[in-house]
Structure 1
Amino acid sequence: MIGDVYQIDLADGRKVVAKVADSEAASLRIEGYMLRYLGEHSQLPVPDVLYDADDTLLLMTYIEGQSQLGDAEQQHAAELLADLHNLTQPQYGLERDTMIGPLHQPNPPSDSWIDFFRDHRLLYMARLAHADGPLPADFLARIEKLSTRLDNWLFEPEQPSLIHGDIWTTNVLTRQGRITGFIDPAIYYAHAEIELAYTTLFGTFGRTFNSAFFDHYHTLRPIQPGFFEERRHLYNLYPLLVHVRLFGGSYMNRVDEILHTFGF
């Protein structure tokens, strides 16, 4: 969330959504770009952008929906995200930098997923979290040591996948057993597993193969062994560090647990 959100009822009966920047650092033009990109390149249901000509105001179409994620909604979400993850380009990253929440997210082109994740996700966010104050120096040192051994657990996928980038419960809108929309994206081309991992961080679709989402997604795009046991925890260091930067030390325990799990 990088602004205050309002529903506007027009005289002709239509509804639109207005997001107004809540700080000078907000860049709603980038959010508009990301929604347009998803709308033009994928079948993912997202709001249509009506206005994004400056950084302080974003106007979008209104999408009816709550955030109720039962089995039917999870199965539909699996179909939509598997389809999104089938979209590819030659390199990881994106044609421009984006945002995750209010934070800058660099997307320089890279031929290696592990290099991209190490340099432009894990180390980038850890070093800024340290520079901003919340991440202690000893934690940064442990993350830097871990980063030199990522290839012990991570692997290069067959191709980059377009991801939404910020899927948690309130960014998924539902109605009558179907997904009506995904909002607040943080897009780039990645290993699709980083998207799946993030959904487990707060239990959006559950945390095991037994959930309706993962069971159905696996039939559409098989999930390789070791994801739930190891790789998802490594990938979730990135959103946890985002939360450390935004909210301070309350997320440090989870970072610490993951580092200890991998021997750092």
Structure 2
Amino acid sequence: MSSDGDDRPLRALSERVRDALGTGVESVAELDGGEVGRVVRVTLADGRTVAAKTGETPLDVEAFMLEFLADRGLPVPEVFHRDDDLLVLEYVAGDSEISPAVERDAAGLLAALHGEHPRGEDGRKTEGKFGFPRDTLTGPYRQPNPWTDSWVAFFRDRRLDHFAAKAREEGLLSPPLAERLDALAGDLDSLLPDDPPAALLHGDVWANNVLAADGAVRALLDPACYFGHAEVELAYVDFGGSFGDAFFETYDDERGIEAGFRDERCAVYQLVPLLEHLLYFEEDRYAAGLRERLTGLGY
């Protein structure tokens, strides 16, 4: 039931799930839907339990990403039904309590995922190394993914400049801070490799998007996929405090972390989630985070 005592939205959602799956609904209970969308656990008359998600962003994009990841071996919920404003998924039991064993398991899963190379939907060679078969979403924001051969160009144009421009449009980025970001963007070819191996990224690995039980990851939720430099994922894990030393040590053993990541590239890659969080939460601590990292990088 909704917090104001009006259970009509839940009844309407229950009816939509019934119609989508062709089976009756026994009960519906609210779940934590994160920052975007509403998520409920639905017990069906046929004995199954599913999760149903609604939201204002096009949910068929999330379904596409989940199926893309599932085809490449990452544990994600199975998609039972999708359209723009309703997603019905496998309900995966677990919690977001992260132990060292879970960190090590997550490191192995992501190291394997990062070994996946880009290919088109038909299995043929893509038009570039970095990008994705379609634009995706990170939270409520469009994430453009045109295939690009240059990693520096992709990260500069489709991530750093893209989200900085949106923050400027919203009046959230002061002119001096915007100028510092522009200066760094102009020097990216000296800060980042232009041709790293293209790795498939989950894109939003933080604790609330990890379901775990018995020391293992049961599912990773809410992806924001594309093919990019694997260190973007590591920088985001560090940014969100998702995992600790056990994760990074295991990932280094499995795949290797190149020298210079902690000293410089991690801070460069964290500029993007800071911009995304500034856009969504409109809190000055994220602008302060941008200033801190830019200062540390000499800008």
TM category (shorter chain) comes to over 0.9
Find the counterpart in structure 2 of residue 66 from structure 1: 95
Number of matched pairs: 255
Contact 1:135 1:249 in 2 (8 A): no
**Residue 192 in 1 paired to residue 223 in 2?**
no
**Residue 147 in 1 paired to residue 181 in 2?**
no
Q: Deviating runs (4+, > 3 A) in structure 1?
A: none
Find the counterpart in structure 1 of residue 294 from structure 2: 259
**Residue 8 in 1 paired to residue 42 in 2?**
yes
The DSSP-based 3-state class of the residue aligned with 2:87 is strand
C-alpha distance in structure 1 between counterparts of 2:236 and 2:40, whole Å: 27
Write the letter of the residue equivalent to 1:8. V
Q: Which of 219, 223, 234 is the matching residue for 2:257?
A: 223
Q: Which moved more, 1:151-160 or 1:31-40?
A: 151-160
Residue segments in structure 1 that go unaligned for 5+ positions in a row? none
Q: Which moved more, 1:119-128 or 1:152-161?
A: 152-161
**Residue 43 in 1 paired to residue 73 in 2?**
yes
C-alpha distance in structure 2 between counterparts of 1:219 and 1:173, whole Å: 23
Write the letter of the residue equivalent to 1:50. F
Deviation at 1:71, TM superposition (A): 1.0
Q: Which of 177, 185, 201 is the matching residue for 1:163?
A: 201
In the TM superposition, 1:4-153 aligns within 5 A as 4-21=38-55, 23=56, 26-40=57-71, 42-52=72-82, 54-89=83-118, 91-153=129-191
Contact 2:267 2:297 in 1 (8 A): no
Contact 1:34 1:186 in 2 (8 A): yes
Deviation at 1:91, TM superposition (A): 1.1
> Once the two structures are superposed, what CA deviation does each residue of 1:172-202 show, in whole Å capped at 9, x if it has no partner?
1100000000000000000000001000002
Find the counterpart in structure 1 of residue 269 from structure 2: 235
The DSSP-based 3-state class of the residue aligned with 1:236 is helix
Deviation at 1:17, TM superposition (A): 0.3
Deviation at 1:151, TM superposition (A): 2.2
Deviation at 1:2, TM superposition (A): 2.5
Contact 2:172 2:279 in 1 (8 A): yes
Contact 2:39 2:52 in 1 (8 A): yes
Provide the alpha-carbon RMSD of the alignment: 1.1
C-alpha distance in structure 2 between counterparts of 1:138 and 1:27, whole Å: 35
Contact 1:6 1:18 in 2 (8 A): yes
Deviation at 1:157, TM superposition (A): 4.6
C-alpha distance in structure 1 between counterparts of 2:196 and 2:287, whole Å: 33
Write the letter of the residue equivalent to 2:77. P
Deviation at 1:99, TM superposition (A): 0.2
The DSSP-based 3-state class of the residue aligned with 2:192 is coil
C-alpha distance in structure 1 between counterparts of 2:52 and 2:172, whole Å: 32
C-alpha distance in structure 2 between counterparts of 1:133 and 1:67, whole Å: 35
> Once the two structures are superposed, what CA deviation does each residue of 1:6-56 show, in whole Å capped at 9, x if it has no partner?
0001122211000011x3xx111111111111112x11100111111x211
Percent identical pairs in the alignment equals 42
Write the letter of the residue equivalent to 1:11. A
The DSSP-based 3-state class of the residue aligned with 1:118 is helix
Residue segments in structure 2 that go unaligned for 5+ positions in a row? 1-34, 119-127
Deviation at 1:220, TM superposition (A): 1.0
TM-score normalised to structure 1 length: 0.94
> Once the two structures are superposed, what CA deviation does each residue of 1:113-142 show, in whole Å capped at 9, x if it has no partner?
111101100011001111012112221111
- Larger RCO, structures 1/2 (Cα 8 Å, 6+ apart): 1
Contact 2:151 2:196 in 1 (8 A): no
C-alpha distance in structure 2 between counterparts of 1:167 and 1:66, whole Å: 14
